[in-house]
Amino acid sequence: MSNWIPLWLHKLGSPPTFYRFAGTLQPWAMTLALLLGAIALYGGLVLAPADYQQGDAYRIIFIHVPSAEMSMFIYAVMGVAAFIALVWRIKLAEVVAMESAPIGAAFTFITLVTGSLWGKPMWGTWWTWDARLTSELVLLFLYLGVIGLYHAFEDRRQGARAAAFLAIIGIINVPIVHFSVNWWNTLHQGSTINIFGQSKMSTDMLWPLLTMMLATKFYYAASLFRRVRTDLLALEGGKDWVRRIAEDEAKS
C-alpha cells in the first residue's frame, strides 16, 4: 500500500471506524438536508416571483436542476470510488460506489420525470430525443446497469468489481450530459435562454435554487451513510465488532 495515503484516511477506511463515523454524521446531514430543503421550498414556491414568460411552471426548476446536478455529481463520486475500489481493493470504496448507484438512479429518475412534466406545458411535448434528454436517459441506464451487474454475482465483492468496471467506463457519459447543450443544438438549451432572456437568473430565484442544491448534497451524504453502514454490517457479519453491535441491538 502506498505511503501517500494519510494515516487518518487509512483509519477512516476501516469498516468499524467508518461505521461509527458515519453513524455520528448521518443525523446531522439529514437534519441539514431537511432544514435547507424546507427553506429552499419556501423561497422557491412562495417568495420567488412568477417568471415573466413561463408563469409558475418554471418553479419545477427548484427540484429539476438540483436533481440533475446530483445525478451527475453522484455518478462522479461513484466513478472515483469505483476506481479506488479496483486499484487498491479497498472494501469501503466498493461499498460507497455500489450504494451510491441507487441514490444516483433515484435522482436521475426524478430529473427525467420532472423534466417531462416541465416540458409538456413549455415545449408542448413530454419527451424528445435530443442530446440532453437522451444522454440523461443513458445515465439512468448506466446506473441501472451498475446495480444489476452488482446483484448478478453470487459473491458480493466479485459483483462489486464487475460493476465498478462498468461505472468507470460509463463516466464518459457525465461530460456528455453536462456539455450536450453546448455541443448540440438542443431544445433544452433554447428553452433555458428563453426563460431568463439575455440576463442572468434574478437573485430571488437563484438563492432557493442554490439552497436546494446544497440540501440535496446533504441528503445524499445522509442516505449514503445509512446505506453504507448497513452494507458494512452485512459484509463483515462474522467479525467481532459487528457481533457486538448485533448483540446491543438485540438487547434494546
Partner 1 sequence: MSSLQTFLAMGGYAAYVWPAYALFFIVLIADTVAPRLRRRRVLRELSARLARQQARQDRAGGNSISTSPTP
Residues lying near partner 1 in the complex (CB under 8 A): 45-46, 50, 55-57, 59-60, 63-64, 67, 102-103, 106, 109-110, 113-114, 117-118, 120-121, 219, 223, 226-227, 229-230, 233-234, 237, 242-243, 245-247, 249-250
Cβ distance to partner 1 smaller for residue 86 or 91 = 91
Q: Least distance in Å: CB of 175 to partner 1?
A: 25
Cβ distance to partner 1 smaller for residue 31 or 230 = 230
Segment 106-111 long-range contacts (CB within 8 Å, at least 24 positions apart): 107/67, 107/68, 107/70, 107/71, 107/74, 107/216, 108/67, 108/71, 108/136, 108/139, 108/140, 108/143, 109/140, 110/63, 110/64, 110/67, 111/64, 111/67, 111/68, 111/71, 111/136
Task: Copy the grid coordinates of residue 137.
Answer: 436517459
Report yes or no: 157 and 93 within 8 Å, Cβ to Cβ.
no
> Could you tell me if residue 134 is left (phi over 0), alpha (psi between -120 and 50 degrees) or otherwise beta?
alpha
Cβ distance to partner 1 smaller for residue 10 or 243 = 243
Q: Least distance in Å: CB of 161 to partner 1?
A: 22
Cβ distance to partner 1 smaller for residue 113 or 206 = 113
Q: Least distance in Å: CB of 87 to partner 1?
A: 27
Task: Copy the grid coordinates of residue 175.
Answer: 461530460
Q: Least distance in Å: CB of 111 to partner 1?
A: 10
The secondary structure of residue 32, as a DSSP letter, is H
Based on C-alpha coordinates, what's the Rg of the chain?
A: 20
Q: Least distance in Å: CB of 7 to partner 1?
A: 30
Cβ distance to partner 1 smaller for residue 93 or 212 = 212
